[in-house]
Structure 1
Amino acid sequence: MSRNTKINALLLLVVAALAVLPLALGLGDHKKEPFTGADGEAETAITEMEPDYKPWFSPLYEPPSGEIESALFSLQAALGAGVLAYYFGLHRGRRQGEQRALAQRDAQDPAGSEAASEESTAGRA
């Protein structure tokens, strides 16, 4: 097994442990809902301080259950991660393409490559 494979397996175990251990050990406040978000806790704190408080607006869409709300949130997170991964992959691919083009130019014309690389770095600065 290669070193990278061992590191990846170890990282996967750590992530799994971080996800499962709090659930298995029952950590957290058992008096409240098990997975309340910041919005729910903020609403509770506001109603304790100001019982007559009325929200400024209401949600545009209220999911019928907590499971659907969690699924929509997960979908939103996955789409965001996909957009970020696409952007970084595109950026890396362009950079690698530029490096390959410079390497091919250097291989074809070793004498003129120094001037070309100086021009390209001067243009970026």
Structure 2
Amino acid sequence: MKNIVLFLIVILLAIIPLFLQGDAEFGGADGKAEEMIGELAPSYEPWFKSIWEPPSGEIESLIFSLQAAIGAAFIGYVIGFGRARKKYSSKE
């Protein structure tokens, strides 16, 4: 029961801001940093250009999500492996 309540709270925390700020634009830190650099140093020239730019924002979000999922899977594997090793090494 406790897990269900916690899950519902997490879902509400994700959904409520979308309704409260429906017309707001949820930008990332990259856009804010670029905007601030433009204000502080308008003549700033980047050191290098990207090798490949995603064709759209959706593709960029997909790649970011895949990166997060792979990272979460890796962390889950390491934690699970450590717990299993601890569990089975103590029984011998």
Distance in structure 2 (CA, Å) of the matches to 1:90 and 1:79: 16
Distance in structure 2 (CA, Å) of the matches to 1:37 and 1:56: 22
Q: Which residue of 1 aligns with 2:88?
A: 97
Distance in structure 1 (CA, Å) of the matches to 2:48 and 2:6: 43
- Structure 2 residue runs of 5 or longer lacking an equivalent are none
Summarize deviations over 1:2-29 as a string: whole Å, max 9, x none. xxxx11111111110110000011178x
C-alpha RMSD of matched pairs (Å) = 1.4
Distance in structure 1 (CA, Å) of the matches to 2:2 and 2:50: 44
Distance in structure 1 (CA, Å) of the matches to 2:66 and 2:80: 21
Query: Which amino acid in the other structure matches residue 63 of structure 2?
Result: L
Distance in structure 2 (CA, Å) of the matches to 1:35 and 1:69: 15
Distance in structure 2 (CA, Å) of the matches to 1:82 and 1:26: 32
Distance in structure 2 (CA, Å) of the matches to 1:59 and 1:52: 19
Q: Which residue of 2 aligns with 1:44?
A: 35
Distance in structure 2 (CA, Å) of the matches to 1:98 and 1:62: 48
Structure 1 residue 87: Cα displacement:
0.7
Q: Which residue of 1 aligns with 2:20?
A: 25
Summarize deviations over 1:36-60 as a string: whole Å, max 9, x none. 1111101001101111111111222
Distance in structure 2 (CA, Å) of the matches to 1:11 and 1:59: 41
Q: TM-score, normalised by structure 1?
A: 0.69
Distance in structure 2 (CA, Å) of the matches to 1:60 and 1:70: 18
Distance in structure 1 (CA, Å) of the matches to 2:48 and 2:28: 19
Considering only CA atoms, is the larger Rg found in Structure 1 or Structure 2?
1
Query: How much identity, in percent, do the aligned residues show?
Result: 48
Q: Which residue of 2 aligns with 1:58?
A: 49
Moved >6 Å (runs of 4+): none
Aligned residues: 92
Higher RCO (C-alpha 8 Å, min separation 6): 2
